[in-house]
Amino acid sequence: MKKHNFFAGPSILPQFTIEETIKGIQNFSDTGLSVLEISHRSKEFIAVVEEAQDLFKELLKIPEGYSVLFVGGGASTQFLMVAYNLLNKKAAYLNTGAWASKALKEAKLFGEVVEVASSKDKNFSYIPKGYEVPADVDYFHITTNNTIYGTEIREDLDVNVPLIADMSSDIFSRPIDVSKYDMIYGGAQKNLAPSGVTFVIIKNDILGKVDRPIPTMMNYQTHIDKDSMFNTPPVLPIFSALQTLRWLKAQGGVEAMEKINIEKAGWLYDEIERNKCFKPAVADKNDRSLMNICFVMAEGYEELEKDFLALATSKGMMGLKGHRSVGGFRASTYNALPQESVKALVEVMAEFEKNH
């Protein structure tokens, strides 16, 4: 049976990435060795890192003056590294979900933190609007896509302070104006690679402005100076990330991805709106994520939640169960998810409605 992978992360990867990674595990770059056992300082692996950095810059049109880093520790380690390196006196945070809340919590260890707005009052089911970012903060931090709650900031914000963005789950899903950000970071296990590597895009001149000493491994300058090779980087996930970047370029880049992602999300949201058995978890269409589409049973059908999940599972749908804090269902429609998987889910939803 054909499997349709809607897991939120780790999540679906392009088949090309999986196949090329298998080849690299068996024989990396014609060395006769596996990428699992190659030195990270070998010329063959350094070439992998350099090509991956170059493709990041090409696909996202990253301007001069930025560095692309590959580090370990996940986005959760970045929550504290951001504040360690950049928060001197005060920082501002937009609280739009679980990960934004965790980033804010870490920052409070290093200085004053202003929560400019929060959507916690409605279980993070919307993106706050009309807030003001204080002019005297060291930076403003946002989380662009909220995997648990299905909301997304799909525009590049204009603010007069350094802008920092966690783009773990929507990087490469749409074009972004990197020049509006001083730093973009994210765990790779949603739109890029297996878990284990974290990407950081950082404007070089934002560093060196805090008063505190920074431990060597926590200092972004360390990783810039050593070109992500200060310590052994996550070799296999970086190799897989390179394959995904090559695949993205072959698909037509982020512009082509955005067009496909809008189409996929449109099919699914239209069916959720049409189908009497379901309703969207996010009411405002402008706030809805293109990456994580959350929906629940409509009023009067709540007791059928397990029945729908059982039907979907029997049809090869994997990972549809919603996060425990929201309930219902979550279909993650990352770049690598084929259009046919979304169409298959829509058909299952229509079949369920017909049966009830």
Q: Contacts from 231-234 at CB under 8 Å and sequence distance 24+? A: 232/40, 233/40, 233/49, 233/70, 233/71, 233/72, 233/197, 234/70, 234/72, 234/196, 234/197
The sign of the torsion formed by the CA atoms of 176, 198, 51, 291 equals: negative
Q: What is the mean pLDDT of residues 41-60?
A: 98
* Residue that the structure tokens 């309703």 belong to: 279
Q: What is the mean pLDDT of residues 82-95?
A: 98
Q: What is the mean pLDDT of residues 167-185?
A: 98
How much of the chain, in percent, has pLDDT values that exceed 90? 99
Q: Does residue 325 have a pLDDT over 90?
A: no
The predicted-structure confidence for 232-245, as pLDDT tens digits, reads as follows 999 999 999 999 99
d(CA 96, CA 228): 30
Dihedrals phi, psi of 24, to nearest 5 degrees? -65, -35
d(CA 154, CA 144): 7
May I ask the CATH class of domain 253-355?
Answer: alpha beta
Fold of 15-251: Aspartate Aminotransferase; domain 2 (3.40.640)
Q: What is the pLDDT of residue 77?
A: 98
- Ranges of each domain in the chain: 15-251, 253-355
Confidence label for 326 from pLDDT (cuts 50, 70 and 90): confident
Active centre residues (catalytic) = 99, 166, 190
Instruction: Judge contact between 136 and 90, C-beta under 8 A.
Output: yes
d(CA 320, CA 318): 6
The predicted-structure confidence for 2-38, as pLDDT tens digits, reads as follows 999 999 999 999 999 999 999 999 999 999 999 999 9
DSSP 295: E
Q: What pTM was estimated for this model as a whole?
A: 0.97
The pLDDT mean for the chain works out to: 97
